[in-house]
Each structure stands twice: as C-alpha cells, then as structure tokens.
Amino acid sequence: MIIVMKPHALKKELRAVIDKIKDLGYKPHTIYGETRNVIGAIGDERGKFVLQSLETLSGVEKVVPILTPYKLASKEFKKDKTEIPISKDIVVGGKEIIVIAGPCSIEGQKMLSQTARFVKQAGAKILRGGAFKPRTSPYSFQGLERKGLKYLAKARDLSGMPVVTEVMNPGDVQLVADHADILQVGARNVQNFTLLKKLGKIKKPILLKRGMMTTINEFIMSAEYIISEGNSRVILCERGIRTFEDATRNTLDVSAVPVLRERTHLPVIVDPSHATGYAQYVKAMSFASVAAGCDGLMIEVHPSPEKALSDGPQSLDFPSFAALMREIVPFASAAGRTIATRQ
C-alpha cells in the first residue's frame, strides 16, 4: 500500500504514520518529495484492510494499493525516474547516456589500465572488468578473482573512472564492495535470492542483469528483492534473452527498454555485447538501444579481441569503440539525451 501524505504535513504526523506502519508489522519506505511525502508499507498483502485504516491519521491524504506484484520498484510507488549518482559528476538515469566499457575479463594490470585510458578518452564514464567470471565450462578461464579486484581498484585510481565488476557469491559481497563502485549481478544469478538480499544490505549501487530466461516482471521482482532490503540504487540491464534464433548469441529485447521504463522508475541500460555475441553487430544495437530510450550502454572492449581470454568475438577493438562513440551522438540527440564524446 502507498500512504500519500498531505502537502506540507508535519514531520511529527509523518513520524506517527511510520510508527503505526511498524506497529502493524509492515516495513515503511519513505520517499521525500518536493511538496509531499509518500510512504510505501511493505509486507503481507492480506493486511491491506488494516492499512486502509491509516487514512484516519492526521496528515494522511489517502491510502492506495499498489496493484503490481513489485511494489518499491514500481512506477505506482514512485513516479519520478530514479537518478543514481555514481561519483561527483556521473549520474545514471539523468539526461546523459552513460557508457560503461572495458574488457569481459580482467586479464592483467597493463591491459586493464590501457583499456581504461582509451575508453575514457573516447567518452566512456565507467570502467567494467570481470574478476569472478561465470563461465559455461569449468575448463574455461574463471577470472583472476582477488588479484583481478586489485588490478581493477588500481585502474580506477590511475584513470579516475568508477568501476563495476560482478559478484557471484554472497560470501564475496563485502570483498567486491571494498574494491568496486558498482556491483554487478550477472544474468545467471538474477534469481539468486540469497545474493540479492545480501546486496540489499550494502550501500553501493547494483547493476542487475536480466537473466536469459527471465520475463520482464520476474526481472523487476529481482530488483524488488534488493530494494526491499534497503538498497534502492538498482540499475537494470537488458542483455539479450534466449530465443530460437541462433544467428546471434542471444536476442536483444529492445522493447524491454520502453516496457521497463513504463513499469519502473529505475534506470535501464543495455549490453549489446552479450546480447549479440558478435562485435560487428554491437554498433547497430547500441544505436537501437539509445533510440529506444536507454540510460546507458555496457560494451566490451579489448586491446586485442583475438587474444581475449573470454568473449573475444563480441569485444570491440579500440578503433571500433571510438567509431561507435562518434557515430552514436546523433542518436542520443534525437532521443533528447546527451552523451560524452572524445576528450
């Protein structure tokens, strides 16, 4: 249920409503607005008639049910788009389209720092790189793990770019949070509820990837797991889903962008690298995603894709990434957005 306070309701009236929500056994989540505050009361749906009685408290304008299965992630709960500040001048979900770029896997300090320098110059704002890699085969490169995290933190210091990396194991959440600015949940872990709950308890933004078989509603429910534990800084990432089509690694669900935009207030980014699996399609799908209204892109870039230890075929080399960043500008403008270009 959403408890909408009257404009200019007193602080003590808000406090009283919050206390009452807790007394009734619900979790209050308050959004402080410019003119009025709203409180989401989250808990057992069967008590909605009890919550309706909050309408009699002073300062309360109305109590309305949230009809979607997800509550805190829904547009009903929060009308305004959520903006997630990553650093002093980087915001995901604002007017600027934020590009996240870097190698699939961190393979060493030199290649990572070299990639960071290049993608930053081309206009990328956030550096990506996997240290814990979810590979289909146990015989494939599994990532440099702790050593990779150290290289990533060093690359952040050298380049001044915030960094994002995947956390696979709930037991590694603190370790990864100590080294990264954003924690990524990979497609394969989108319904690892233990991991999601743990990420709801930390203070860093989460980049949540859609699973290859998750519906849009299931995807938003996963975000709800994180938000309901207290962390509302969730960035959704469409990265392609499994279909019968095998010409590409996955099928990019471009329509997920406007659908998510309609259903949630969370920022939505697109990963055209994992969606297509082939470097030659990444540019076109980046353009399409920007035209569809995404807030950012996550793109795999490698100094020598032919030598990459993972996802080489879908990784852009430096000149291709620079070309993408140049050519995407008119698409961003047409969508009413800005995008950083070569520095």
Catalog residues that contact ligand PEP under the rule CB under 6 A: 104, 130, 134, 166, 186-188, 209, 239, 271, 274
Closest CB to ligand PEP among 177 and 335? 177
Smaller CB separation from ligand PEP, 159 or 165: 165
Output the smallest distance, CB 195 to ligand PEP, in A.
13
Site for Mn ion contains 164 (CB under 5 A): no
| Host H or E run for residue 218 | helix 216-228
- As measured in angstroms, the least distance from the Cβ of 114 to ligand PEP is 19
List the interface residues with Mn ion, window 45-104 (CB under 5 A).
104
Q: Which of residues 288-317 bind Mn ion (CB under 5 A)?
A: 311
Rounded CA separation 190/212 (Å) = 9
DSSP for 110-138 reads HHHHHHHHHHHHHT--EEE-BSS---SST
Closer by beta carbon to Mn ion, 205 or else 277: 277
SS3 203: coil
Q: Which does 328 bind (CB under 5 to 8 A by kind): Mn ion, ligand PEP, none?
A: none
Measured from the CB atom, is 85 or 134 closer to ligand PEP? 134
The CB-nearest residue to Mn ion is: 104
Q: Report the site for Mn ion in 103-142 (rule: CB under 5 A).
A: 104
Q: Which amino acid, 295?
A: D
Residue nearest to ligand PEP (CB): 186
Exposure string of 230-257, with b = 16+ CB inside 10 Å and e = fewer, is ebbbbbbbbbbbeeeeeebbbbbbbebb
Least separation in angstroms between residue 273's CB and ligand PEP is 8
The DSSP bridge partners found for residue 60 are 5
* Beta-sheet strand order (sheet of 27-32): 27-32, 37-42, 2-5, 60-64
By a kind-dependent CB cut-off of 5 to 8 A, residue 209 interacts, out of Mn ion, ligand PEP, none, with ligand PEP
- The residue assigned the tokens 């399409």 is 288
Q: How far is the CB of 189 from ligand PEP (least distance, A)?
A: 8
Residue pair 234/266 in contact by the 8 Å Cβ criterion: yes
Of 104 and 227, which has the nearer Cβ to Mn ion? Answer: 104
- By C-beta, is 14 or 252 nearer to ligand PEP? 252
d(CA 208, CA 84): 14
Residues that bind Mn ion (CB under 5 A): 104, 311
